[in-house]
Amino acid sequence: MTDCLFCKIIAGRIPSKKVYEDDRAFAFEDVNPQAPTHVLIIPKKHIVGLKEAEEADAELLGYCQIVAAKIARERGIEQGYRTVYNVGPSAGQSVFHLHLHLIGGRALGWPPG
């Protein structure tokens, strides 16, 4: 999608600190990290958000979780991390290309704010 920030990052038209890429997914450092590890994992397919995802996207969404787990393993943060979708503006979604937050490397409180 031409007017999407994260599609532009995937295409390399906006710079990012790339963590991982394959034919289905792209991962990069969050520009405003909330923890020592804060990586965004996104499908290359433009999906607006979780509530817009369709059943046909189920494997892709699951795959993003597997990519997150792989990054967490590589970073040695398996003691405790979180994968989070913010869904809709009231939950803090500010970019409307589906993105999975991988947050870890510090103690994480519960419930989240």
Residue 97 appears among annotated catalytic residues: no
Instruction: Give 35's DSSP letter.
Output: S
Instruction: Give 56's DSSP letter.
Output: G
What is the distance, to the nearest Å, from the Cα of residue 37 to the centroid of all Cα atoms in its chain?
12
Q: Which of 21, 26, 53, 30 is nearest to 41 (CA)?
A: 26
Q: How many residues bind ligand AMP (CB under 6 A)?
A: 14
Member of 2, 32, 79, 90 binding ligand AMP (CB under 6 A): 32
Shortest gap between Cβ of 70 and ligand AMP (angstroms)?
A: 20
**CB burial readout 74-93, b (16+ within 10 A) else e:** ebebeeebebbbbeeeeeeb
Shortest gap between Cβ of 62 and ligand AMP (angstroms)?
A: 19
Member of 4, 30, 44, 57 binding ligand AMP (CB under 6 A): 30
The residues in 65-94 that bind ligand AMP, with binding defined as CB under 6 A, are: 86, 92-94
Point out the catalytic residue in the list 38, 97, 99, 101: 99
User: How crowded is the C-beta side of 14, counted as CA atoms within 13 Å?
Assistant: 11
Residue recorded with tokens 């958000």: 49
Member of 4, 48, 61, 95 binding ligand AMP (CB under 6 A): 95
Question: Which residues belong to the active site?
Answer: 99
Which stretches of the chain bind ligand AMP, using CB under 6 A?
5, 14, 16, 28, 30-32, 40, 86, 92-95, 99
